[in-house]
Amino acid sequence: MADNYTKFVNGGLGKKLSKQLGLPRPAILRRYAPDAPLTVGPVLVVSDDASAGDADALAKALVAWDVDVRRSGDDSADIRWGGVVLVGTAAESPEAVSEAVLALGGTLRKLAGNGRVVVVSRAPEAGDSPTLAATRAGFEGFTRSVGKELRGGATANGVQLTGGAAVDSASALGTLRFFLSAKSAYVDGQVLPVGPSDAQADVDWARPLAGKVAVVTGSARGIGAAIAGTLARDGAKVLVVDVPAAGESLAAVANKIKGTALQLDVTAPDAGTKILEATKHLGGIDILVHNAGILRDKLLANMKPAQWDAVIAVNLASQLRINEQLLAAGVEGLRIVSLASTSGIAGNKGQTNYAYSKSGVIGHTAATAPLVAALGGTANAVAPGFIETEMTRSIPVGTRVVARHVVPSLQQGGLPIDVAEAIAFLSSPVASGVNGQVLRVCGQSMVGK
């Protein structure tokens, strides 16, 4: 649910006062609900001339999802676009994109609240001419900047095709659908590379993880519990894992989602082996979510060895050890998703240990990706920003207020479900073209844990 400030300024008196005083008025974000439409209104698909064929292919896919698709703008006063998809996959010079980009700009005032802008482009590749590389690279900065210009809960994200991936491949379409949907409510300004994959196009979008077995560490509460619940909602059988001291809460989570509980300290030398043993009767392991993490915040000048070592052991070394054991066992088709943090990207005062561990997660994800790919799997990371949890309640009040409301463009903290939705997407078969990547769930804020 929205924080108290957001709820207040979207109510009668609060809305009036916030307008008079010039206070930030963050929108109440639209999040996923079963049977709700994919978008809040029609979707406009625009492109440069060279990319028109790819734009037509995406429009066809959107129509198959029961989306009202338009290929040209509408000047009527009452039109409110639920989404705009800009396709620049075949553009060869910066000048060639101008008309399509400006056409997109002309629609933004008519973008509905919680609307979506998705930019579909290709990544620069070795051998590209300087002109082609500049054309392709430009879309990334453009996408992030558009996201910061939007209001009313709207977001802008990018699908960046790599390695010759087809624009209408299952992974490209699955990523487009995620960014258009309410599941990406707190993902903004992100450009996600998508490569070729063998994912199938016929997807049960209501239960994309049906038949899969997922393991979620640190799942007795907070983000971990939300991840477990979301994976179960999407059809997975879930093994929830946490330390014995959290056994009662862990059992409650398992009972709620009809899953299985395993009391286990992830820093144990044989934690990976025990996870494999516990999943045998479930049919093996398909998804591993490294969520377990702790904080021991302290300025480096005041930090004790125990505070540093505990954070590294839980947040980083345990993931490395468990991955090594699963890879040694030859687990095929494994989807690994690890929890990083914007602290590991931008740093945070008093969090040198935490930032080291989370930056290390990003490093091992990139290095693990080709190892699991050899077995038909993927390894990715999700980096949350400011998420409303028990952890973020430890941040000083002033910093929390700034983190929630004085940042572009969503002006609020995220919820555990926002992290869970991103992880569920990266765990799904349609995300098989996404490997070695970091997806930030931060509303374009770099403050948080």
> What would the DSSP string read from start to end of 56-72?
HHHHHHHHHTT--EESS
Q: Cα–Cα distance between 119 and 8 in angstroms, integer?
A: 33
Q: What band does 294 get if pLDDT is binned at 50, 70 and 90? A: very high
Tell me: the pLDDT tens digits for 112-125? Answer: 999 999 999 999 99
Q: Is the pLDDT of residue 445 over 90?
A: no
> Is 405's pLDDT higher than 90?
no
Provide the 8-state DSSP code for 251. H
Q: At what angle do helices 170-180 and 52-64 cross, to 10 degrees?
A: 70
Position 297: which residue type? D
Paired strand residues for 192: 159
pLDDT band of 19, cuts 50, 70, 90: low
Task: Please give the mean pLDDT across all residues of the chain.
Answer: 92
Residue with the two structure tokens 């914007």: 342
pLDDT band at 4; cut points 50, 70, 90: low
- Closest-CA residue to 45 (of 33, 34, 36, 57): 57
356 is catalytic: no
Listing from the earlier edge strand, what are the strands of the sheet with 378-384? 260-263, 237-242, 213-217, 287-290, 335-339, 378-384, 438-441
- pLDDT for residue 10 is more than 80: no
Query: How many whole angstroms separate alpha carbon 57 and alpha carbon 161?
Result: 15
Enclosing H/E stretch for 120: strand 111-122
| Residues 58 and 29 sit within 8 Å (Cβ to Cβ) | no
Q: Which of 7-16, 170-179, 400-409 has the lowest mean pLDDT?
A: 400-409
In the chain, residues under CATH classification 3.40.50.720 are 37-194, 213-441
Which residue has 């990334």 as its token pair?
140
> What is the per-residue DSSP string for 140-185?
HHHHHHHHHH--TT-EEEEEEE-TT--TTSHHHHHHHHHHHSGGGT
What was the pLDDT predicted at 22? 61
CATH number of 37-194: 3.40.50.720
Residue type, 131: T
C-alpha to C-alpha distance for 106 and 100, rounded to whole angstroms: 10
Indicate the pLDDT class of residue 219, thresholds 50, 70 and 90: very high
Q: Which residue has the higher pLDDT, 1 or 41?
A: 41
| CATH number, span 213-441 | 3.40.50.720
Cα–Cα distance, 386 to 112 (Å, whole number)? 25
Q: How confident is the model at residue 448 (pLDDT cuts 50, 70, 90)?
A: very low
State residue 23's pLDDT score. 60
User: By mean pLDDT, which of 68-82, 185-199, 393-407, 408-422 is the weakest?
Assistant: 393-407
Over residues 334-360, the mean pLDDT reads: 96
- pLDDT > 80? residue 222: yes
What is the Cα–Cα distance from 142 to 263, expressed in whole angstroms?
46
| Pair 26, 412: CB distance under 8 Å | yes
At residue 176, does pLDDT exceed 50? yes
Q: What is the pLDDT of residue 449?
A: 44
pLDDT at 104 > cutoff 80: yes
Query: What sign has the CA pseudo-torsion 266, 271, 274, 279?
Result: positive
Cα separation of 147 and 189, whole Å? Answer: 5
Separation of alpha carbons 177 and 162, rounded Å: 18
| 341 in Cβ contact with 383 (< 8 Å) | yes
Q: Kindly tell me if the per-residue pLDDT of 350 is higher than 90.
A: yes
CA pair distance 282, 212, nearest whole angstrom: 9
Question: What six digits make up the tokens of 23?
Answer: 């206070």
Per-residue confidence at 1, pLDDT binned at 50, 70, 90? Answer: very low
- Averaged pLDDT for residues 302-325: 98
Q: What is the DSSP letter of 313?
A: I
108 has a pLDDT exceeding 60: yes
Bridge partners of 69, per DSSP, are: 43
Of 83, 51, 86, 88, whose CA–CA distance to 67 is shortest? 83
Active-site annotation holder among 5, 32, 186, 354: 354
